[in-house]
Amino acid sequence: MIRDNFSKILREAMSEDSWLISEDQYDAKKNLQFESLFALSNGYMGIRGVQEEGNHPSLPYVYINGIFDKSETFMRELVTLPNWSELKFYVEKQLLSVERCEILEYRRALDLKTATLYKHVLLRDESGRESLIESVRFLSRENVHRMGMKVYFTPLNYDGILEIESSINGSILNFCDAPRFKVKHSVVTENSAKEDNIYLEVETRDDLLHIGTGASLHAYENGEEVLRNRRCSAFGEVALEFADCKVKEGKTVEILKYVSVFTEKDCERAAIRPSVFKELESFRDRGFTEEHRAHKKVYDTMWKRANVRIKGDFELDRAVRFNIFHLMSTASEYDDRVNVGAKLLSGEEYGGHAFWDTELFMLPFFSFVFPEKAKRLECYRYRLLDAARKNARKNGYQGAQYPWESADDGTEQCPDWTIEPDGSCYRCYVAKYEHHVTAAVMYGAYKYAETTGDTDFLYKEAAEIFVETARFWASRVLYNETLKLYEIREVTGPDEWHEPVNNNVYTNYLVKWCLRFVSSLITEMKDSREAEYRSLCEKLHFMEEEAETWKEISDKIYIPKKEGTKIFEQFEGYFDLYEVLIEKYDKNDWPIRPEILKTMSVTETQLIKQADVVMLMHLLGQEFDEETIRENYNYYEKRTLHGSSLSPSIYAIMGLKIGDSSKAYRYLRRAALLDLWNIQGNTREGIHAANTGGVWQTVVFGFAGLSLDENGELHLQPHMPKEWEELQFSIMHRGEATEITIKGDNSYTIRKREANEV
């Protein structure tokens, strides 16, 4: 048992192994990966799993969702905020850290059940003193402005004086380990102390948005406060609280760091500091243990809804839970000014921006499990509809065009230019050509309403999104007089290795579906939702002829296909590219890049980065017969290199649709273990958020075969792999918590939960 390594007090608090992700020995080369894996978030703030004493290498990042800044970079990115987790221990000036001491015992564990990070280290310093240091860290989910750390410090073979340094470090940079890209997005505006608190306030550089962080230190032995010689200092960008205490061999001192953070998005600027201090006081009054208990209770409720249990397959069971943990922890249930970034709040890649990842990979999980969070994500897109209108105008189109990368204000955040690691400038065409996100937003809004039954949203806010995005597509297509068909030229589909192309099937077909759907929704509203229809017409100056045009485009959009077969041509000319098939896989079952790519650019080949035609079939399965799905899956599966984490889960789900369960099982393993095993080698940059949602979809839509019919009735078509004895999960089905249990022989039960079980 993982918890056996911890002392009794922590052992009793920790969950069993199926809820624990552990780091069993210290290896500096894995620091950054574990910082991502052990990130904690409470829907408001995220902090990477950094070590309190600060070790190397480290990206000690704290983020608050929605706090962005651009300054001299290419885009608005999440600002790394003052690091409040610093807590250092010294005995006779020797820093007790894994880097400076001999490590006698080491283990960290992320408790998924309670969103708590535990640490156990036994260190021997240069003088032979042995210190046992165990810690607990959480970001309260009940009171999101409270973050707490507790350390149990026990000298094992000495008496002495323990010197403690607790700081809030505002000198933090984005990309702090990349000399070429380092940037400081905030400046310190106040560094002060009030009685026994330290306080640091920073201001973002573009928007002058203020963020205040306060902390206070306490220590107890047998319930008695033991800190002496307290001193709070303002050292430039670092606010530091010093104190010491006597420690005795075998006696444990409990050291507590209470932290609170508020920003100008939470209250008026002048109220930030008072709010921080008030919160710290309430936190202290309530106590670490009580706050932690309340936090755990919230997680308990969340897990009642979100847990997926796979009996008979321990490793996968835990890995699936790990993915769900990160996804559900990050999304907010009350703030529609924020989305979920491509790396959650766990790393800096993609600047915290939201992509199509949200609608097509994460939203299904939220719609089925946490509809209130799904609603916030939908409201986020609705709130930014106006910005999408401006974006369309800027690019010469009508209606609303959602940005490929979205931060807080809805403007395009995917840069046209970036700097390569060698300093050269790189023209990035993604925002210019990758337009399918606009279809994803529309599809997501429809699916959200279909899943949750939120018709209020469907006929009001969503209807506006539908009309405006339909207008965009109507202005984006071109009529080809020769073919007598509509085309979308110069576009990039999900497979970003071929850009731009003409008539990407994924994009064209999705547009076909979107335009058909909007036209029929409009007819339905006209017939049976008169008031909403009238208000939509007035608000958007909508005219019926528009819907007729959309229908015509939908009927006549070009869908390239291989003559005489059911195989779609990913884009015009794809079949003429050099044929390369994937034949070899590495130890993680990941495809090995074919040798030919040493001499030929991937753009000249049929190799693709990620699910494209197959992604389309995942979204619009009802449009294609089984044979079409099979032929396309078989064709493209051999050509997909899964250069993106958005790919394996989709192939798993679609493999199951055509009865290929053994490949599907392998794909699920790759997806579920992607970050835990650092399969793509870039987990240091943060957790792959879309993949976490893809993992959930693979289990629920793939292996359980869950679907809703047009009347909202629930259907299951399980494909249990031989390794699984039982699969259990729950969803909110039309407002009722519904538990689904599937046995190894594919028999199942669907049970409505009682109110006290939810």
Whichever of 646 and 673 has its CB closer to ligand IFM, that residue is: 646
Give the 3-state secondary structure of residue 376.
Answer: helix
Whichever of 38 and 506 has its CB closer to ligand IFM, that residue is: 506
For the chain, the C-alpha Rg in angstroms (whole number) is 27
- 609 annotated ligand binder: yes
Could you tell me the smallest distance in angstroms from the CB atom of residue 166 to ligand IFM? 36
Q: Does 644 bind ligand IFM (CB under 6 A)?
A: yes
Pairing of strands 714-715, 308-311: unpaired
Whichever of 238 and 671 has its CB closer to ligand IFM, that residue is: 671
Q: Does 651 bind ligand IFM (CB under 6 A)?
A: no
On the question of a cis peptide bond just before residue 500, with omega within 30 degrees of 0, the verdict is yes
Residues 698 and 320: their CA atoms lie apart, in Å, by 10
The stretch among 51-59, 318-326, 352-360, 412-420 that binds ligand IFM (CB under 6 A) is 352-360
Q: Does 440 bind ligand IFM (CB under 6 A)?
A: no
Could you tell me the smallest distance in angstroms from the CB atom of residue 230 to ligand IFM? 46
Could you tell me the smallest distance in angstroms from the CB atom of residue 691 to ligand IFM? 9
Could you tell me the smallest distance in angstroms from the CB atom of residue 321 to ligand IFM? 22
Q: Beginning with the edge strand found earlier in the chain, give each strand of the sheet holding 736-743 in spatial order.
A: 308-311, 726-733, 736-743, 748-752
Print the SS3 string covering 295-311.
HHHHHHHHHHHHCEEEE
Whichever of 356 and 729 has its CB closer to ligand IFM, that residue is: 356
Residues 588 and 144: their CA atoms lie apart, in Å, by 38
Could you tell me the smallest distance in angstroms from the CB atom of residue 492 to ligand IFM? 10
The stretch among 35-43, 65-73, 351-359, 534-542 that binds ligand IFM (CB under 6 A) is 351-359
CA distances (Å), origin 581, targets 375, 526, 648: 42, 51, 17
H and E: helices and strands count for the chain: 21, 30
Q: Looking at 638-698, list the stretches that DSSP marks H as alpha helix, in order from N- to C-terminal side.
A: 648-657, 661-673, 689-697
* Residues 312-331, interacting with ligand IFM (CB under 6 A): none
Is there a contact between 21 and 112 (Cβ–Cβ < 8 Å)? Answer: yes
CA distances (Å), origin 6, targets 10, 50, 105, 639: 6, 19, 10, 48
Residues 243 and 163: their CA atoms lie apart, in Å, by 6
Is there a contact between 340 and 346 (Cβ–Cβ < 8 Å)? Answer: no
- 610 annotated ligand binder: yes
Could you tell me the smallest distance in angstroms from the CB atom of residue 355 to ligand IFM? 4
Residues 194 and 285: their CA atoms lie apart, in Å, by 17
Angle between helices 463-476 and 436-452 (to 10 degrees): 150
Residues 43 and 65: their CA atoms lie apart, in Å, by 8
Phi, psi of 644 (to 5 degrees): -125, 145
Angle at 39 between CA 383 and CA 282, to 5 degrees: 80
Extract the tokens encoding 686.
Answer: 């943060």
Could you tell me the smallest distance in angstroms from the CB atom of residue 357 to ligand IFM? 5
Q: Which residue in the set 115, 202, 342, 611 belongs to the binding site for ligand IFM (CB under 6 A)? A: 342
* Residues 684-703, interacting with ligand IFM (CB under 6 A): 690
Whichever of 317 and 357 has its CB closer to ligand IFM, that residue is: 357
> Percentage helix, strand, coil, to 5, in the chain?
35, 25, 35
Is there a contact between 361 and 618 (Cβ–Cβ < 8 Å)? Answer: no
Q: Which residue in the set 238, 338, 614, 646 belongs to the binding site for ligand IFM (CB under 6 A)? A: 646
Whichever of 385 and 646 has its CB closer to ligand IFM, that residue is: 646
Q: Taking Cα atoms as reference points, which of 64, 211, 46 lies closest to residue 117?
A: 46
Residues 247 and 162: their CA atoms lie apart, in Å, by 6
The one-character DSSP state at 342 is T
Could you tell me the smallest distance in angstroms from the CB atom of residue 675 to ligand IFM? 13
Could you tell me the smallest distance in angstroms from the CB atom of residue 493 to ligand IFM? 10
Q: Looking at 477-543, list the stretches that DSSP marks H as alpha helix, in order from N- to C-terminal side.
A: 505-528, 530-540
Whichever of 492 and 632 has its CB closer to ligand IFM, that residue is: 492
Could you tell me the smallest distance in angstroms from the CB atom of residue 424 to ligand IFM? 21
Q: Taking Cα atoms as reference points, which of 738, 703, 744, 694 lies closest to residue 327?
A: 694
**Which residues, at least 6 apart from 563, have a Cβ–Cβ distance to it below 8 Å?**
none
Q: Does 637 bind ligand IFM (CB under 6 A)?
A: no
Residues 191 and 656: their CA atoms lie apart, in Å, by 58
The stretch among 350-358, 377-385, 484-492, 534-542 that binds ligand IFM (CB under 6 A) is 350-358
Q: Does 494 bind ligand IFM (CB under 6 A)?
A: yes
Q: Which residue in the set 53, 201, 357, 461 belongs to the binding site for ligand IFM (CB under 6 A)? A: 357
Catalytically active residues, by annotation: 496
Residues that bind ligand IFM (rule: CB under 6 A) add up to a total of: 9
| Strands of 59-175, DSSP E | 62-64, 68-69, 77-78, 83-91, 94-95, 102-111, 116-124, 130-139, 146-155, 160-169
CA distances (Å), origin 696, targets 322, 362, 672: 11, 9, 9
Q: Which residue in the set 350, 550, 574, 651 belongs to the binding site for ligand IFM (CB under 6 A)? A: 350
Q: Looking at 65-191, list the stretches that DSSP marks H as alpha helix, in order from N- to C-terminal side.
A: none
Q: Taking Cα atoms as reference points, which of 141, 152, 148, 170 lies closest to residue 257?
A: 148
- Which parts of this chain interact with ligand IFM (CB under 6 A)? 342, 350, 355-357, 494, 644, 646, 690
Show binding-site residues for substrate.
356-357, 609-610
